[in-house]
Amino acid sequence: MRQLLIVVTVGAALGLSACADNTAPPQTDTQLNTTTVSEVNATNPLFAKSALQYEAPDFNAIKDEHFLPAITAGMEQQMNEVLAIANNPEPPSFENTLVAMERSGVLLNRAAQIFYNLAGSSSNPERRKIQAELAPKMAAHQDNINLNPALFARVKSLYEQRNELQLNSEAVRLIEEYYEDFVRAGAQLTEEQKVAIRGLNEEHSTLTNQFSQNLLAETENIAVLVETKEELEGLSAAQITAAAEAAEESGHTGKFLLDITNTTRQPMLAQLHNRELRQRLWEASANRAQSGDYDNRSLVSRLAQLRAERAKLLGYDNWASYGLEAQMAKTPEAVFNMLGSMAPAVVTNTKREAAAIQQMIAQQGGNFELQPWDWEYYAEYVRQAKFDLDESEVKQYFEFNRVLQDGVFYTFNRLFGITFKPLPDLPTYHPDVAAYEVFDKDGSSIAIFYADYFAREGKRGGAWMSSFVGQSHLTGQKPVVVNVMNIPKAPDGQPTLVSYDHVTTMFHELGHGVHGIFSNVTYPSLAGTAVPRDFVEFPSTFQEDWAGHPDVIANYAKHFETGEPIPAELLAKTIASRSFNQGFDTLEYLSAALLDMEWHSLSADQPLQDVNAFEAAALAKHGVDLAAVPPRYKSTYFSHSMGGGYSAGYYAYMWSEILAADAYAIVQSRGSLQLENGQRFRDEILSKGNSRDPMESYVAFGGREPTTDALLIRRGLEIAVE
C-alpha cells in the first residue's frame, strides 16, 4: 500500500536495517519466525480478521501486549510480500504490481490502525512505551519499501506506459500516485543519498514521537490548581464540581483543578472574574513545553532542520516547497500570497475589536492595558452589549445529546438520507464511546461509526476523525470510522451543556466522518480522506455552517430542562453573533499558519533556531504580531505542525474554508437543505476520495472553480483596507 497507515487526524513507519538492494533485510531480534508467529496467532486476536460486523475491532479481547507482536509480525509479513512483488520474474503489470501492493500488509494495517487510534484517544504508559519503540522501526520499514530499486523499476515502467494500458481512470490515478510517492520518498536518489535519508527519517520519526509524548505529559502536568471556590467566580456550578472532582482524583482534596486544553486560548478565560487566575491559566497554556523535563524547544528547532535537510536531499529549496508540491496550493508562494492577502483586513478588524474591548475595560473601571488573558472575558461583555446575548443563557439550549441527535444526525439525514442506529452491544474502547450502525436512505447498512466526544486523561487535545477500517471494493471492506473530541463532560447526573464552538466542531468532525463513510472507490490507497491536506478539510468545514441554518438550529436548540425551543429573538441574536470576534478568531489562526510556513521555509544551510526569537520575528515579518492576540498554537505545542501531519500544511484549514464557503453558498442557491444537494455533494466530492484530481471533483460539483467571495462574507471580513 502507498500508506502503511491511514489514521486521519483529519494524521510512520519498522526498524529493519538499511537495505539498498532488493534482497531480504537481515533478521533482527524484534522479528518473529514462522513458528513464533504461529504460536502467537493462537492467542492474539489481532492476527485474525475480526468476526464483528465490518471487521470492527473486538476491544473486549484486545490487550496492550497484543500490539507489538502483531505489528512486528505484520511488518515482516508485508516485507515478504513486497519482496515477492519486487522480485517477480513476470513483466510488471497493474495486477501483479500495484494491485498486489494494495493487497499487502493486511496484518500490519489492521494492528497499526487500532494501535495508533488508541494511542491518540486512550493513551497510557504502556502504549506510550510501545509507540516510542515502534517509531524508528516503522520509519525504516517504510523506507525499505519506498527505496527498493526493483520495486520502483516496476512502478516506473507502469507509469511510463499508463496511457497505453487500457485501464480506467481510477487505476491510472493509482499508478500516478504510487509513482509520485516513490519519487518523493527518494526512490531516484543515489545509494549514498538513500542511506542519508534513512537516517533522517529515523531521527525524524523518533523526535516527532518524543514531541507528542512530551506534550501529552506536559498538558497533564500543568493543570492549574486553585485553592478556594471564591476564585472560580464566573464558572457554572457544574464546572466547579468537575474542577473539585479533578482535584480530588489528583490528590488535592478540597481544592480545584482546571485542565488545560489544546490551544493557546482557554475556554474558561471567557468566564473567570478573577483576573489573576485568568493570567495563571493563560500563562500555563502559552508557556507549556518550554522548560523542565518536557521542554520541546530543542525538538522544534531540530525537526525544522531535519525536514529542510530531507527536502534538500530530494532536490527542493525547503520543506514547504517539497510538501506543497503534492497539494492543491502547489507552492509556498501561493500560500503566502493567500494568507498575506487576508492579513491587512484581518488585522484591521482585530484592532477595531481590541479598541472596543479596551473601551469596555475602562467602562468597568479597569485601569490596565488589554492582555491576552483579558480578551475573551471582556469580549463577552462587548458581545452582550452589541447583541444583548448572554453566552451562558445560550448554552442552556445546547444540551449535548440533543445537539448530536436533533442537530448533527438530523442534518445528515436531511442532506444525505442516512440514519444512525445505536449498537449498545458492540465493544468499544472506553465507556464514554458510543457505537452506531449507519444506514443509507434505501435502508441498507453502510458503515460503523464510533462517537468519542468527551475529554479524559490519556486523550490528546483537539478533535479529529480517523478510521479503524477503510472502504475498498478491492478488499470488500466497509468503513469503520471514529470521531474524537474533548468536550468537558458534566458530573454524573447533570446534563452536558456545550458551547457553540463545540456544536460546530461536532458538525465538522462528522463531515470528515461521512467523507470516510461515503467513500466509493476500488483501491484502499485512494479511499475516503486520503486526499491532499488542503482538500481534506473542505468537506468537514462545509458541514459547519449547517449548525446555524435556521431549520437545523431550531430543531436542536431547545432548553435542557423545559424542552422549549430557543426563543426566536435569542435565536436571531445567536446567528447574528456568529460574525462577532472574527478578527480575533481569524488572526490567531492566521498567525499560527504563517508560523508553520516560516518554520518550513528554512533552508538546510541555516543553523538551529532559537524558538522564541524565531516566533517573534516570523509574526513581525507578516505584521500579525499583536500582543493581545497570540497564535492559536505556539511552536512548542503546535502538534499539527511539529507532530508531523500538517507540517507546512496548517494553512490548509483556510484554503479548505475557501472551498467550503463557496460550496455552501452554491448549495443555498440550489435550494439549501435538500437530498438532491446532498446527493450531488456525495457523488462528486465525498465518494471519490483521491480517485481523481480534487479540483476536478470540485468543478464537477460546483460547475466552476471556487472564489474567495463567500469566505470573506462567512468571516465578516468584507471590508476595504485603506
What's the pLDDT score for residue 393?
86
**Residue 477 forms beta bridges with which residues?**
472
Cα separation, 710 vs 693, whole angstroms: 23
- CA dist., res. 552 & res. 562, Å (int): 19
What count of Cα atoms within 13 Å lies in the side-chain half-sphere of residue 231?
18
Any idea what the Cα angle at residue 100 is, between residues 95 and 102, rounded to 5°? Answer: 110
Neighbours of 508 (CB within 10 A): 24
Contact 308, 606 (CB under 8 A): yes
Look at residue 647 and give its three-state secondary structure.
Answer: coil
204: Cα separation from own chain's centroid: 20
Q: Which of 14, 207, 7 is nearest to 121 (CA)?
A: 7
Helices (H), 1-66: 34-41
Distance CA 135, CA 208 (A): 9
Low-confidence spans in the chain with pLDDT less than 50:
1-9, 11-35, 719-722
Q: How is 230-265 classified by DSSP, letter by letter?
A: GGGBTB-HHHHHHHHHHHHHTT-TTSEEE---SSSS
Q: Is residue 353 a contact partner of residue 359, using CB atoms and an 8 Å limit?
A: no
Strand order in the sheet with 419-422: 419-422, 434-439, 445-454, 480-487, 464-469
Predicted confidence at residue 2, as pLDDT, reads: 47
How many other CB atoms sit within 10 Å of the CB of residue 456?
Answer: 13
Q: How far is CA 142 from the centre of its chain?
A: 22
β-bridge pairing 256-258 and 224-226: antiparallel
Neighbour count for residue 387 (Cβ, 10 Å): 15
pLDDT of res. 582: 87
Position of cell 485568568?
278
Three cell numbers written together for 233: 467566580
Confidence (pLDDT) at 18: 27
Of how many residues is the chain composed?
Answer: 722
Spatial CA neighbour of 116 closest among 102, 136, 101, 130: 130
Q: Which three cell numbers stand for residue 222?
A: 500543568
Sign of CA dihedral 612, 613, 616, 621: negative
**CB of 299 within 8 A of CB of 506?**
no
pTM, two decimals, is 0.86
Neighbouring residues of 569: CB distance < 8 A, sequence distance ≥ 6: none
Do the beta carbons of residue 20 and residue 150 sit within 8 Å? Answer: no
Name the CATH architecture for the domain at 395-579.
Orthogonal Bundle (1.10)
The type of residue at 209 is N
Q: Where in the chain is the domain with CATH 1.10.1370.40?
A: 34-188, 395-579
Residue 275 backbone class (left: φ over 0; alpha: ψ -120 to 50; beta: rest)? alpha
Question: Closest Cα to residue 193, out of 304, 315, 86, 308?
Answer: 315
Assigned CATH topology for domain 34-188: Neurolysin; domain 3 (1.10.1370)
Q: Which residues are catalytic?
A: 509
Residue 642 half-sphere exposure, CB side, CA atoms within 13 Å?
30
Domain 332-370+581-714 has CATH 2.60.40.1930: no
The set of long-range contacts for 313-319, using a CB threshold of 8 Å and a minimum separation of 24, is 313/186, 313/189, 313/193, 313/196, 313/197, 313/200, 314/184, 314/186, 314/189, 314/197, 317/603, 318/600, 318/601, 318/602, 318/603, 318/604, 319/600, 319/601, 319/602, 319/647, 319/648
Asked whether the beta carbons of 197 and 322 are under 8 A apart, the reply is no
Angle between helices 106-121 and 67-86 (to 10 degrees): 140
Residues 6+ apart with CB under 8 A from 594: 336, 339, 618, 619, 622, 624
Is the CA virtual torsion 538, 541, 543, 545 positive or negative? negative
Alpha-carbon distance 535 to 324, whole Å? 12
Residues of CATH 1.10.1370.10 domain(s) within the chain? 332-370+581-714
Q: Which helix (H) or strand (E) holds 91?
A: none
Amino acid, single-letter form, for residue 393: E
Q: How many CA atoms lie within 13 A of 184 on its CB side?
A: 15
- Per-residue model confidence (pLDDT) at position 241: 94
